[in-house]
Structure 1
């Protein structure tokens, strides 16, 4: 073996390979200490070489640049021949192509390039680590605990301790450390040869400059002086919801979202900060003005996937700029837009969802219903009638052999039903499907951006027969273009279409859900046979499922087209002139078809058509066109420590509405359900209205040194809804704020109290949300009177009501105190207290004698007051292992009371009265249940509330006024008898808890929502059963816990028909507080290294639930959110996919 061979063998052994790699790493580290990578990042080269050696390529690169290479020719094959042709590429791209598939790695340190073999990565970990220590402080030199330090591009990291110090083991070859902290700018620091790195972190510009959408513009969140809440798209996305209202429940304090039930046609209603007005019949919780990209429209028709942000303007100072329409607050919805200089991005979102009822009644069966009725007679000291005993025996016989015993028997010549039918189970689906799909395209060039989307949602309801279902179609296109440096234009368009169908609930049956819970003995399976087994002649019995099945239909559609254009002129820096013109077209259509239903009820030979006679077809058409013009200009000026912005504008709106209602009776052919194919009475009614609104508005803001903030908004509004001389009114507002944390005396506590702002606002708003043409006396007509004139039913005309010539605006004045605090750079707190007084409420004037023959005029004389508060607490943090999380808690409360109402001088409890709180429940105080006749004889007489005899098992009420008799007195505030205020149905202490976490591609959201205090009186016959009505089905909850001589400690009274036992009272007043897990979403975003293989930018899959769990003390048949036994709320499970290209 010669010396050369020996040397080559020695160099190839493992120990020398290891030593070689260690020396090379030391060499690299030495270069790294002085390297600045700006040259390698900014330099681009072009090469065109064919069939040359690698070494020739390297030399050509060195000749064309300042790069030079370091490598071992015995380890790197530079004699290999290659061809390369690349134009204007970075050095990293060239080398990747040159050494692809050769096992050669390269390391670029600015102008130095080191070529190595791939096994350099195989060094033991203990030989690759270096320790770096340091301290992290803020701009004032205060140490920051909890800062996350990571080796850039890895999950390896550490946290600073309470003194801001840290220590981290860094793999050799790592180029930088990344320092991040909530509310601070993320920094990436090069390591080089450093072993100590001290960092000064600056407050995040994103945090400081966070913008919030306000009226006709945006403001920095930190400079807000009014009460404004903002909801981002992240809160709305990836949840199993059918409309935006479901996603907003509990998210914003005192944004009250009411969902009436789980029907596909149930649309949420919105209210901000409680009671807003009243009528003679009760309180009104008015809806806010909702603007989508500045255009008023129905938010429930929107696709939640298209929404980018929602701002809620709560106080008068924030909403005053919108004047007449904003008395109840404002919701500003901003839809998504593309980004300039962004390549086209296609995003597809899809989810499949399965819904089921949250609550179902546990109903009594046929035998127990009859048995309970029989047992109620002895509770009244009565004997059981023989026909009742016979009926119970007949039901027993059927239950023993339902296959061979008919579901009816004949008694007294009539059909008596005895089946044991689970009508509810046969009518309601346990699971109903829903699906959503959305496809969007966004992007932009250097001077323009665009966003377009199409969406589809299909939801089946809970009816098994003739299933109720809805479909929603959405399309949107937003385009913004910068035509020149001083002129740009924004164009927006959207189309929304919603359709819904369901069977028609028959008149006189109490609605689907009441009826299907009250008819368990009526057979469903048809056709039946008569007693002699001949055909009955009809297909149906008088069961509610017959009405579902036989062919009635209620179909409705909503169509909304919105077009808007907004030119923007910028003559000078800081000066903007903008115009908005939009057209909002809305069409509503509905067609109701009710054929005759011939069915057996009491007699086989005489089928009934009650509730469906005469058959009819009815068609509704409503159309509205809204044209809106806004022109406004704003100017911003900064001089030294003074920041001034001013805005002034003009608004004009035109609303044109018309409608058509037509009906034809006696359908000739049920398969051709058109009015032209009816033979009976027909009518057609059309209507039309026009309303306009005009206003000028302004906003002025001033800030000194970011510490002292002032804002004034105002509007001079006029509306055609009021008489000519009372149409216009000025509504001003102002607000001030003081950022205490910027004062010098607050600096010692700055490490704890990072920001502290105190706010105060006052404003007045007008309310035009009243009926149209109140000041114009108008006739009304009755299509067909209930008598004949010349052989025909004539059209009736009523006398016009009296009107007031001085009707004008209701006014809402609001005072708001607020405070915003940031603690420990992690915890954000916002608190507001408000007092809103609504005056000049339109109510009926003084009573006139009935002989007048018409209604009294309306006048401005009512007043109410709403006082409330709200809290938002947000905590954001991250852990060393890469787990990031945030928690948001919201809590709010309000109470509304009438301060002035002239329409009830006697203070009757049956209507509103001065001093009444919204939601008051009047009732008796319960002592307990009478156990013996001696107890009844010794107690105050209860004959005023029930003249019949009282028995053991009945309720004993307390004599509050001491007159020896239980009664309701005169039914007034001053003489309520033995009643008092026992509760309040207003939801108090509404709260939400939203928790988000992310970890290595996984994301988790948990959202709880609920009500802390609410009273509820159950006025539902299904719940009370026989106690309320002899025909009511009843539930096991009441039946199994009702009083009997052997169960004297039972909660409910004796199970017999006596409504006086369930008058509103303290004992059975329900606690309707609840907590509900509204949403759980678990998602996973695949790593980019996997998705890039498929040319996918991002791929996320998720599973989500809605209303999956709740806790309350209510009986199981009631959902605590809607408090009815009607169409139930739904709970859901969904699987979804989000993918971007």
Structure 2
């Protein structure tokens, strides 16, 4: 008996009254919570209007339930039914009604979706105090593996902790109604309501691209599942996995339909970007770049990838027409990182590395070149001995078998480093993001470098529940220096010496060619550009109708200050200085409305008004004969000869109106209408304003009832769009007459300066327009482990702005008119897949493929070709038009060769019209600089803490003209003794004793058609990047207060497969700096 008393004696000590009350409250809360989750979300936007006199609380609750879907839960014993009240409400929310009804009582309420719970105040406090406890748990990934380094924060505070090496955490003194926020890099953040639980285990899900992802669409965001247009989204993971300092390198090969071509390999040099091919002949073909809603004129070069959260590429009219006249070439939306609620997160991302140019042109050395010169004279019958054709210094080089390899002398080890430090965090009302970046890049050719220091600051502030303001600020200060043209490294003779006998670097050789080593000394040749940029954005946002109608206004000034100075030391030194300042301001106001009607109808309306003003002041001065060499270009007012000077002013403005309407029915049928009116000061009076409409429809086939049982299919959407965009990428003064300074003439002893007209003004110049049509299919399989899209498009650009040549009798050379049309048609495919996913190993692949067919439909309003510009109706814009190489005339073909004025060893040209002569009628289209297709593929592998990625990019079907990429000229440029041409490629040229059908014989003198062998196939497959990383275990770094530490090594451009004989098939230029291979070591730290 005593034993039983010991076991159950604790029952007698329980305060049963208070415990039952608490259990009752918990039961009510639990029931309403479960029901609310089952019933979906509910907007407490219902307003009540009624007047009650001398009623009790139960009658008020009945009135609320009668006029809404809300149900009121309460304990009858807690309600004083004898208490009478008077209540008068007019258009007020349920919260306001209950506040009035429960005034001066001991009752409170909780609203949860469609349910209201009435609770006594003391029970709430007892419940809260009794529920405040220590919460523990474990965080794992989707495969069940523990996740160390996950941040667990009490929402609305800075209280938090990081999971240990086993993925476990412990948080003391957590209120029962608190919310915990779990966040980790590469995972979706989760918010978990404690609800009195003492243990909360969480499974983190990878941040994958899915149909519910929210993406930027221009003037707002939208769920990816609601998109009706063609666009590509590149997320944070893809952006940061390549350690590069420019966004154009990040984006190259990452999106179907976007072709990014290296403009060269000098540090700080921007790339050219085309989206769905080239459209315009005279206007701009560059896409519009928008950063955080602000269009920028400088492209992607100034944007630090570490600051970027996501990039969206708008490709069809439905997605890009919202930017109207500037969207004909597509739009690139860049969203920078912003602060999030929670503790401050400090990140450091940095890398450093070295670079080498491994590629070498196979140029002739001294013995080979000497024999080439002898062979040329032998074939011309002018060779007797070396003393008759070579100078003494050349004979010395030949005798000593001495060769100057200019490539080995010039190419050096390059260097690159990039360091970014950022801090992000915030509270419920204030969120901030701050970053600073230091970049330095020295090329493999000395005296070519680029430095940039930049900072970005974003802050968002909730002033109240209905008013928000924000500020973004970007500052960049850069320095770029480049040496003189790279040409002399290739062209200079292998026989000359770079140094004098005392070791001094020579300025010129015996032939007057400048020594590239001399010009690569900064004190001898200077070409530097300094640029400072300040871009700011302030905004205010007001909720006119909470959760439905919002007004936002934005103002953004963009300042740029540029100075470029050049100096060349010579017998008479020369210098120049030019630069200026630009101010680009944008003001926009936007009204957005969204709502859901009858559960199945969703609408989203956006209206915008904007004004953009651009102003540029510039100057330029060029002079020779500097009195003090050390002043370089800084004192041009004292030069002996002032060659030119001048100043300039350029201004333009754009006024815009925009309206967009999105409608979704039952998540199955989607409709988008967009209309934008732009007025440009660049166009003629009466032609300044243009309307750019678009329409798109989409069908979520997967959401149909007949598809819901198809389990393997997770997404299937059909899309179609049609619309117009515009282009005014021309000079602001094309519609006005421009005067140019002419010569000075003497009249009656007085010198008079004359001015002359340039191009004739065109008062009828109007918008260049593009009509775009797009049909697309988006799909996903196996819970989106395999996703992709297929798009076909047809873009017609008409009213092309082209310079029409005018007769000399008019007094003008040309006039810009709307007289042409081009067409671009293409196919795009994008596929993403998770190939293998196990607890320890993951392999995923991203693939994109695109092909574009470009053609000229009409020119100058008709069907005539423009041979002078290589423009032909029905052909691509950029074609190579020349004579057709047909091998080499051989011995025994003397008679046939003589018909064309040739001899054995000369190149043979196809006589296309068989008229026994070679003239312009025998020229033909050899190929196009535009690719047949481009593709990019990224494979990512992760094994435990190791990760590896490889990115391959290919361009196929291109042809470029490149002398050194093909054969080199095999001509001696002069008949004079001791003179010869530039160095050339070491090829097996034709000689009578060793005939070749590929390379002609050497000539003395230049041939008129010597470029016939300079066209090369520049297709290539390039391994752009290979990166191997390792995430250091959490138990090793937790004592350093680190939540993540990753080290990696990366190699860029390790392999290129091509038949092109020059330095690089992508740039395909003879005399520009070659590409390089970069080896990097980097680290990512998160505190």
* TM-score bracket for the superposition, by shorter chain length: 0.7 to 0.9
Give distance in 1, aligned partners of 2:992 and 2:755.
Answer: 61
CA distance in 1, matches of 2:130, 2:399: 91
Counterpart of 2:235 (choices 225, 228, 232) is 232
Change (3 A) 1:702 1:391: same
C-alpha deviations, 1:849-888, integer Å up to 9, x for none?
Answer: x143233432211111111121101111443342122101
When residues 206 and 942 of structure 1 are mapped into structure 2, their CA distance, relative to the original with a 3 A threshold, is: closer
Q: Which residue in the other structure is 2:291 paired with?
A: 292
In structure 1, what is the equivalent of residue 260 of structure 2? Answer: 257
Instruction: Answer with 679-688 or 263-272: which moved more.
Output: 679-688
- Alignment counterpart, residue 1083 of structure 1, candidates 1016, 1029, 1045: 1029
Equivalent residue, structure 2, for 1:8: none
Deviations 1:325-365 (A, max 9, x none): 1121111111011111x111111111111112253222211
Partner of 1:413: none
Q: Secondary structure at the match of 2:356?
A: strand
Matches within 5 A, 1:795-944: 797-799=755-757, 801-825=759-783, 826-845=785-804, 847-848=806-807, 850-902=808-860, 907-911=865-869, 912-932=871-891, 934-938=892-896, 941-943=899-901
Match of 1:61 in 2: none
Q: Residue 308 of structure 1 corresponds to which residue in structure 2?
A: 309
Kindly state the Cα deviation for residue 563 of structure 1 after the two structures are TM-superposed: 1.1
Specify the alignment match of 2:618 in structure 1.
659
Matches within 5 A, 1:141-220: 150=144, 207-220=210-223
Equivalent of residue 1097 in structure 1, options 1036, 1043, 1062 = 1043
Q: Is 1:904–1:913's contact at 8 Å kept on the other side of the alignment?
A: no
Q: Please report how far the alpha carbon of residue 788 of structure 1 lies from its aligned counterpart in structure 2 after TM superposition.
A: 9.1
Find out whether 1:758 has 2:758 as its counterpart: no
Q: Deviations over 1:739-777 (max 9, x none)?
A: 1222233345x2333221111100111212111111111
| Structure 1 residue 996, shift from structure 2 partner | 1.3
The alpha-carbon distance between structure 1 residues 313 and 790, as it changes in their structure 2 partners (threshold 3 A), is farther
Q: Are 1:1135 and 2:1081 counterparts?
A: yes
CA RMSD, 1 decimal: 3.8
Q: Contact (CA 8 Å) 1:502, 1:554: kept in 2 or not?
A: yes
Among 429, 442, 445, which residue is 1:463 paired with? 445
Please give the residue correspondences for 1:440-479 in structure 2 after superposition, counting only pairs within 5 Å: 440-464=422-446, 467-479=447-459
Counterpart in the other structure of 1:575: 549
Instruction: Decide which of 929, 939, 956 is 1:1012's aligned counterpart.
Output: 956
Structure 1 residue 571 displacement after superposition: 2.3
Kept in 1: contact 2:284–2:727 (CA 8 A) = no
How many Å apart are 1:628 and its aligned residue? 0.8
Contact in 1 for aligned 2:889/2:897 (Cα 8 Å): no
Counterpart CA distance in 1 for 2:344 and 2:945 is 24
Shift of 1:446: 1.8
Deviation, structure 1 residue 390: 6.2
Cα distance in 2 for partners of 1:587, 1:433 equals 27
Aligned to 2:123: none
Unmatched segments (≥5 aa) in structure 1: 1-37, 43-85, 94-107, 110-146, 155-173, 176-181, 189-199, 403-418, 506-510, 531-535, 598-608, 944-949, 972-976
Residues 350, 183 of structure 1: alpha-carbon distance in 2 compared, 3 angstrom cutoff? closer
Secondary structure at the counterpart of residue 1091 of structure 1: helix
Q: Partners of 2:649 and 2:686 in 1: how far apart?
A: 24
* Alignment equivalent of 2:471, drawn from 476, 491, 516: 491
Distance 1:250 1:480 in 2: 34
Change (3 A) 1:620 1:793: farther
Aligned pairs (5 A) from 1:909-1058: 909-911=867-869, 912-932=871-891, 934-938=892-896, 941-943=899-901, 950-963=902-915, 965-968=916-919, 971=920, 977-1020=921-964, 1023-1027=967-971, 1029=973, 1031-1038=980-987, 1041-1049=988-996, 1051-1057=998-1004
Query: Following TM superposition, by how much is the alpha carbon of 1:920 offset from its aligned partner in structure 2, in angstroms?
Result: 2.3
Equivalent residue runs for 1:713-724 within 5 Å: 713-724=674-685
Superposed displacement of residue 938, structure 1: 3.5
- Distance, in Å, in 2 between the alignment partners of 1:459 and 1:205 is 34
Residues 1021 and 1034 of structure 1 are in contact (CA less than 8 Å); yes or no, is this contact kept in structure 2?
Answer: no
CA shift for structure 1 position 428: 2.4
SS in structure 1 opposite 2:255?
coil
Q: 2:361 — aligned with what?
A: 361
1:512-531 matched pairs, under 5 angstroms? 512-514=486-488, 516-526=490-500
State the shift of 1:186 in Å: 11
Q: Does 1:728 align with 2:722?
A: no
Provide the C-alpha distance between the structure 1 equivalents of 2:134 and 2:705, rounded to a whole number of angstroms: 52
Work out whether 1:743 is the aligned partner of 2:704. Answer: yes
Q: Which residue of 1 aligns with 2:532?
A: 559
Structure 1 residue 241 corresponds to structure 2 residue 244: yes
Structure 2 Cα separation of the partners of residues 1121 and 486 of structure 1? 53
Residues 433-461 of structure 1: CA deviation (Å, up to 9, x unaligned): 11111111111112221100111101112
Does residue 707 (structure 1) correspond to residue 707 (structure 2)? The answer is no
Please give the secondary structure, in 1, of the residue aligned with 2:229: coil
Q: Aligned residue for 2:576?
A: 618
> 1:687 is matched with which residue: 608, 624, 648?
648
Listed one character per residue, the Cα deviations across residues 949-979 of structure 1 (whole Å, up to 9, x for unaligned) are: x33222333332232x1413xx4xxxxx233
Normalised to the residue count of structure 2, the TM-score between the two structures is 0.77
> Does the C-alpha gap of structure 1 residues 204 and 851 become closer, same or farther in structure 2, counting only changes over 3 Å?
closer
What CA distance in whole angstroms lies between the structure 2 residues aligned with 1:678 and 1:876? 67
Cα distance per residue 1:120-149 (max 9 Å; x no partner) = xxxxxxxxxxxxxxxxxxxxxxxxxxx975
Q: Is the 8 A contact 2:313 2:333 kept in 1?
A: yes
Cα 1:1028–1:988 change in 2 (3 A) is farther
Distance (Å, rounded) in 1 between the aligned partners of 2:956 and 2:844? 23
Distance 1:499 1:898, change over 3 A: same
- CA deviation after TM superposition for structure 1 residue 1120, in Å: 4.2
Please tell me whether the aligned partners of residues 870 and 890 of structure 1 are also in contact (alpha carbons under 8 angstroms). yes
User: In structure 2, how many angstroms separate the alpha carbons of the residues matched to 1:205 and 1:670?
Assistant: 60
> Taking structure 1 as reference, are residues 787 and 1077 closer, same or farther at Cα in structure 2, changes over 3 Å only?
farther
Structure 1 residues 91 and 427, CA gap change in structure 2 (3 angstroms): closer
Stretches of structure 2 lacking an aligned partner (at least 5 in a row): 1-25, 31-128, 149-167, 170-185, 193-202, 975-979
Measured at CA, do residues 472 and 747 of structure 1 come closer, stay the same or move farther in structure 2, by a change above 3 Å?
same
With over 3 angstroms needed to count, the CA separation of the structure-2 counterparts of 1:395 and 1:778, relative to structure 1, is closer
CA–CA distance in structure 1, aligned partners of residues 890 and 956 of structure 2:
36
Where do residues 631-646 of structure 1 align in structure 2 (5 Å cutoff)? 631-639=589-597, 640-646=599-605
**1:74-128 alpha-carbon deviations (Å, 9 max, x no partner):** xxxxxxxxxxxx99985588xxxxxxxxxxxxxx99xxxxxxxxxxxxxxxxxxx
The count of corresponding residues between Structure 1 and Structure 2 is 901
1:240–1:1132 Cα contact (<8 Å) kept: no
Match of 1:1110 among 1034, 1037, 1056: 1056
Paired with 1:735 and 1:1135, the residues of 2 have a C-alpha distance of 47
Shift of 1:792: 11
Paired with 2:390 and 2:1028, the residues of 1 have a C-alpha distance of 56
Give the C-alpha shift of residue 1126 in structure 1.
2.1
CA distance in 2, matches of 1:763, 1:867: 15
